[in-house]
Amino acid sequence: MGIESILLGLLGLGILVFFHELGHFIAARGLGIEVEAFSIGMGKILIKKKIGKTEYRLSLIPLGGYCKMKGENFLLSALENPGSDPTPEPGSFYAASPWKRIIVALAGPIFNLILTFSIFTSLALITYPYYGSEPLVKPITTEGIYKQTSQYFPWIREMKNIKLPGELSGILPGDRILKVNGHSVSSFQDFQKLLNKNGLNTLTIQISRKNRVLDISATPMPDPRKGITSGDPVIGLSTIALPLIQSVAPGSDAALADLKSGDLIVEVNSVAVDNVYEVFQLISTTKGIIPIVVKDQSGTMVTKQMIPSGIKTDTSMGLIFSPLYMKPGSSLLSALETGYDETWDLFNKTVKSIGLLFTTFNFSESLSGPIGVVVNTGIIAQNGFAGGFLMGLVGFLNLAAFLSLGLFIMNLLPIPVLDGGTVVLNFIQMFFPKPFKPIVYVRFQQIGLVFILGLLVFTTINDLIRLPY
C-alpha cells in the first residue's frame, strides 16, 4: 500500500462527502435557512471568503467538507441550562418549520443517490476499455463439481441433484454465444448483462458450434444461494477462460507471490481449476495464505504462496487474465435507462447486504470504517490505473457510485445524529402543537452520538487489524 493509494482513497471519500454536504447546503439556502459556513475539506481553514451571509472555506484535510447552518447556539444554551426554553434565532435551522428541516435532512442523501445515477449514466455514454472474457461457454453441472467444492461453496449442497438451465438447454462445452434475444454479444460480460436485464424470462441464445449457427432456448432459474444475489437469474453457464495470467500489477499480492505473465494456474488451495471463475471463487473463499500451483512457460509445476492484503478480487490482487475489450458508448436515452437500471440493481443488492449483516454475515469481516474505505478505495483505484488512465478512471467512478449509494442508504437509517434520525424526530414534531424544547434535540443527538462513536471505534480497530501494511 503506497501513498498513491491513500491519496486516491481520500479523494474518493472526499468527493462523496462533499456532494452530500452540497445537498444540505442547496436545500437550506433554498428554504431560507442561513448557512454560516460551507467548507471544502475539514480542519484548519486555508482560504476563506464571505459572500452574503455565508463564509466559503477551503480547509486543510481533504475529507469532504461541511455545511454549518445557523442555530448551534440554540442547542448550546440547552446544554448550559437544561431547564431553559430559548427561542431559536430567526433564519436558523431550528426556527424553520419541521417539514423544511426534513427536506434539508433528506437533501444530503438524495444528492448521493443523484451522484450514483449520474456516474452510471455518464459511464454508459462513453467508450472505454475493459478486461473481459470470450463468450466461449460450458454448462455448469452441480453434480460434477459437488465433490471438489462443496466444502467451499455450501450452497452447492442444496443443489447436488439439480440440473441447471444451461445443461438442460443442450448447450455444449465450446459453444460460442453470438446473440441473446437478438442483441449481439462480444464478451461473456455482455452475456451476463443481458441475462440480468432479462430476468427470469426465457432467453433465445444464438450460438456457433463447429461452423453451424443454432438458436437455443433457455429459461433462467432464481439463484438459490443465500446472499445479495438470492433470487437473481441463473442460467448455469461458465466461460471457458483458461486461468492463463496475461499480466501482473507491479507491487500487488500476485507480484509478491512471484506469479508471472504466462503462468497457467492449475490448482488453488489444493483444488484443481480449469477456468478463471473457479480461481476467483476459491481465492475469495480461502482464508489466510493461499497456495497456488502454476504451470510456468517451461511446463514446470511450481507452488506459489499468495498473502491477501485487502479486498480479494482478481484485479485488486494484481491478477489480469482477460483480453481487452471496448465498451461502446450509448445514446443519451439508452444511457439514462442504463443509469436507472444499474442504480436500482445496486440499491436492491445493498439493501440485501445490510439485512444479511444481522443474519448470516460476520460483523467483523463485513464492516469497514473510514480507514478501511480509504485504504480499499485507494488500492482498487491504483490497480485500475495500472491498466491505463481511462480504465482506472472507470474503475474509480464505479467504486464511487457504489459507496455513494451506500451513503444514501446508511444516512437514511432512523438513527439519531444521522439524517434519517433528524427526519424521524421532525416528522414526530409535526404532530405536536408546541415545538420540542432544545434539550429534547440535545438528548436525541447524544444517544446517536454514543452509538456512532462506538461503531466508529469498532470499525477503526477492525480496519487497523486488517490493514495491508
**Per-residue pLDDT, 157:** 54
Looking at residues 154-178, what average pLDDT do you find?
76
Nearest CA to 5 out of 364, 316, 314, 463 is that of 316
CA distance 94 to 74: 8
| Cell numbers that stand for 319 in this block | 491478477
HEC states along the chain?
Answer: CCHHHHHHHHHHHHHHHHHHHHHHHHHHHHCCCCEEEEEEEEEEEEEEEEECCEEEEEEEEEEEEEEEECCHHHHHHHHHCCCCCCCCCCCCHHHCCHHHHHHHHHHHHHHHHHHHHHHHHHHHHCCEEEECCCCEEEECCHHHHHHHHCCCCHHHHHHCCCCCHHHHHCCCCCEEEEEECCEECCCHHHHHHHHHHHCCCCEEEEEEECCEEEEEEECCEECCCCCCCCCCEECCEEECCCCECCEECCCCHHHHCCCCCCCEEEEECCEECCCHHHHHHHHHHCCCCEEEEEECCCCCEEEEEECCCCCCCCCCCCEECCCEEEECCCCHHHHHHHHHHHHHHHHHHHHHHHHHHCCCCCHHHHCCCHHHHHHHHHHHHHHHHCCCHHHHHHHHHHHHHHHHHHHHHHHCCCCCCCHHHHHHHHHHHCCCCCCCCHHHHHHHHHHHHHHHHHHHHHHHHHHHHHCCC
pLDDT-based confidence at residue 148 (cuts at 50, 70, 90): very low
Domain count, the chain: 2
Lowest mean pLDDT among 2-11, 83-92, 284-293, 329-338: 2-11
Lowest mean pLDDT among 245-259, 328-342, 356-370: 356-370
pLDDT at 360 over 60: no
User: 232 and 274 share a domain?
Assistant: no
pLDDT-based confidence at residue 295 (cuts at 50, 70, 90): very high
User: 228 and 267 share a domain?
Assistant: no
Residue 313, domain member (yes or no): yes
pLDDT at 117 over 90: yes
User: 252 and 307 share a domain?
Assistant: yes
Q: What is the mean pLDDT of the chain?
A: 80
Looking at residues 44-71, what average pLDDT do you find?
86
Looking at residues 214-229, what average pLDDT do you find?
78
**Per-residue pLDDT, 147:** 47
**Per-residue pLDDT, 457:** 67
pLDDT at 152 over 50: no
Residue 220, domain member (yes or no): yes
Residue 87, domain member (yes or no): no
Q: Are 313 and 279 in contact (CB under 8 A)?
A: no
Which span out of 96-110, 157-171, 177-191, 373-387 was modeled with the highest average pLDDT? 96-110
Q: List the domain range (segments joined by +) for residue 194.
A: 136-239
- The enclosing domain of 269 has a CATH number of 2.30.42.10
**Per-residue pLDDT, 225:** 62
**Per-residue pLDDT, 149:** 44
Q: Which residues contact 404 (CB under 8 A, 6 or more apart)?
A: 16, 19, 112, 113, 115, 116, 119
Q: By percentage, how much of the chain surpasses pLDDT 70?
A: 75
Per-residue CA distances from 16 to 95, 108, 114, 122, 399 (Å): 29, 10, 11, 17, 11
User: 145 and 201 share a domain?
Assistant: yes
pLDDT-based confidence at residue 150 (cuts at 50, 70, 90): very low
CA distance 320 to 248: 6
What are the tens digits of pLDDT across the range 424-466? 989 999 988 888 777 777 777 767 677 667 766 665 665 555 5
Looking at residues 323-334, what average pLDDT do you find?
85
Q: How many CB atoms lie within 10 A of CB 317?
A: 28
Residue 431, domain member (yes or no): no
State which of 208, 239, 270 marks the end of a domain: 239
User: 207 and 290 share a domain?
Assistant: no
| Cell numbers that stand for 434 in this block | 408546541
User: 198 and 258 share a domain?
Assistant: no
Residue 118, domain member (yes or no): no
Lowest mean pLDDT among 59-73, 125-139, 288-302: 59-73
Residue 69, domain member (yes or no): no
CA distance 50 to 63: 22
Q: Which residues pair with 272 in a beta bridge?
A: 267
Looking at residues 86-107, what average pLDDT do you find?
89
CA distance 104 to 23: 8
State which of 325, 360, 389 marks the end of a domain: 325
Q: By percentage, how much of the chain surpasses pLDDT 90?
A: 26
User: 140 and 165 share a domain?
Assistant: yes
**Per-residue pLDDT, 259:** 92
Residue 89, domain member (yes or no): no
**Per-residue pLDDT, 151:** 45
pLDDT at 238 over 90: no
State which of 303, 325, 347 marks the end of a domain: 325
**Per-residue pLDDT, 31:** 94
pLDDT-based confidence at residue 229 (cuts at 50, 70, 90): low
Residue 310, domain member (yes or no): yes
Q: Which residue has the higher pLDDT, 78 or 217?
A: 217
What are the tens digits of pLDDT across the range 274-294? 777 788 878 877 888 899 999
**Per-residue pLDDT, 112:** 95
Residue entry with cell 475489450 = 325
Lowest mean pLDDT among 4-13, 116-125, 145-154, 256-265: 145-154
CB-facing half-sphere around the CA of 132: CA atoms within 13 A:
19
Lowest mean pLDDT among 201-215, 353-367, 387-401: 353-367
Sign of the C-alpha dihedral, residues 404, 408, 414, 416?
A: positive
**Per-residue pLDDT, 80:** 67
